[in-house]
Amino acid sequence: MTMRLGVSAALVDGAMLTGDIAVDPRTREICEVGLAGGGSGIAVPGLVDLQVNGFAGVQFRTCGPDGYAVAAQALAGRGVTALQPTFFSQSIEDYERGLRTLADVRATPPVGAEFLPAHLEGPFMSREWKGAHRAEYLLDPDLALADRLLDAGPVGFVTLAPELPGALELVRHLSRLGVVVSLGHTGATAEQTREAIDAGAQHLTHCWNAHRRLTSRDPGPAGVALSGSALVVGLIADLAHVSAEIVVLTMTCAPGRVAITTDALPFAGVNAGEWLEHGRRVSVVNGVAQLLDGTLAGGIAGLDDCLRNLVALGVDTAVAVDSCGGVQRRLLGLDEVLLRPGDRADIAVFDDGLRPLRTLVGGREVWAD
């Protein structure tokens, strides 16, 4: 039996279509669109986040399956239907423990947002551009070590610095294995960035943050990413990591290639003024999470917050939604979700102010306000 969502409109194939939509829970697909007699709310393709360190008090690097279950519900409550749990720099043994846990979680998924294979932010990154990462956990590229991490559990995405010795060989190796390679926490020049692209790199991690600065004669990773078309451009659109003007500039320079992310910290989504992370105090000051020296330590916004920021800055709703989910699906090679009949029913329902009302994953309601 099909299930109608009771919405007044839906973003179908990039266009807002008046009317209700119906899904078939058995096939997990959308079966009809534009039905008369809908109610309220707008259905859009579910949001996808490439970089989530944790959420709702849960730290993915260290939690067990119960923590994942809490985060799955909390993230679904932000319209997120899928995400990459992100393990930032730590000991190799801790990476392995976290990956084994993720493998168990994916084998028996909790109700809520779907957990994709992990995003490893490190350990093969620049100490000079470490940001909030601890330098002692950052290592030069090592194929055997990378294989050890991949053997420990599901890995789909690796952020690394391409200028490090042996990095290009690692980019080629990971790409051959189907892992998406992203450039980040890097001092790469424009030439080194292009070499990494030729080797298989596909993404730039949080553009404008923790990489070589763009200048008039030294464009670095951002200049290459924005002036060419080879890289998907990651962007933390919380208006804390980058300004409103930079959000607009990035969206303008890379249409259809900006993947909005949150870089969410474990205490995103809860009211926490400060906490300890790797033995260091993280404080929220004027809505920004930072270390004692002022270094940005990650995000505390939800992906729905970023979506609303884009629309408030004048980005078309369809473009904003695509940047919060469609670009990510295309990068990862996931099934497209455009709310057409036959598409997988990963759906977020928002009110007129783009506040989440309901979330469906594979045609199953996993969260409702």
The Cα–Cα gap between 151 and 135 comes to: 24
Q: Which two tokens stand for residue 264?
A: 């969410």
**Token pair 């390679």 in the structure block, residue:** 181
Q: Classify each residue of 148-180 as buried b or exposed e, where b means 16 or more C-beta atoms within 10 Å of its C-beta.
A: ebbebbbbbbbbbbbbbeebbebbbbbbeeebb
Q: Which residues contact 123 (CB under 8 A, 6 or more apart)?
A: 89, 90, 92, 95, 137, 138, 139
Instruction: Say if residues 278 and 324 touch (Cβ distance below 8 Å).
Output: no
13 noted as active-site residue: no
Instruction: Say if residues 144 and 124 touch (Cβ distance below 8 Å).
Output: no
Backbone angles phi, psi at 328, to 5 degrees: -65, -45
Backbone angles phi, psi at 302, to 5 degrees: -90, 165
The Cα–Cα gap between 16 and 175 comes to: 37
Q: What is the DSSP string of 105-146?
A: HHHSPPSSSEEPSEEEE-SS--STT-TTS-GGG-----HHHH
Q: From the candidates 49, 263, 304, 343, which is the catalytic residue?
A: 263
Active site residues: 263
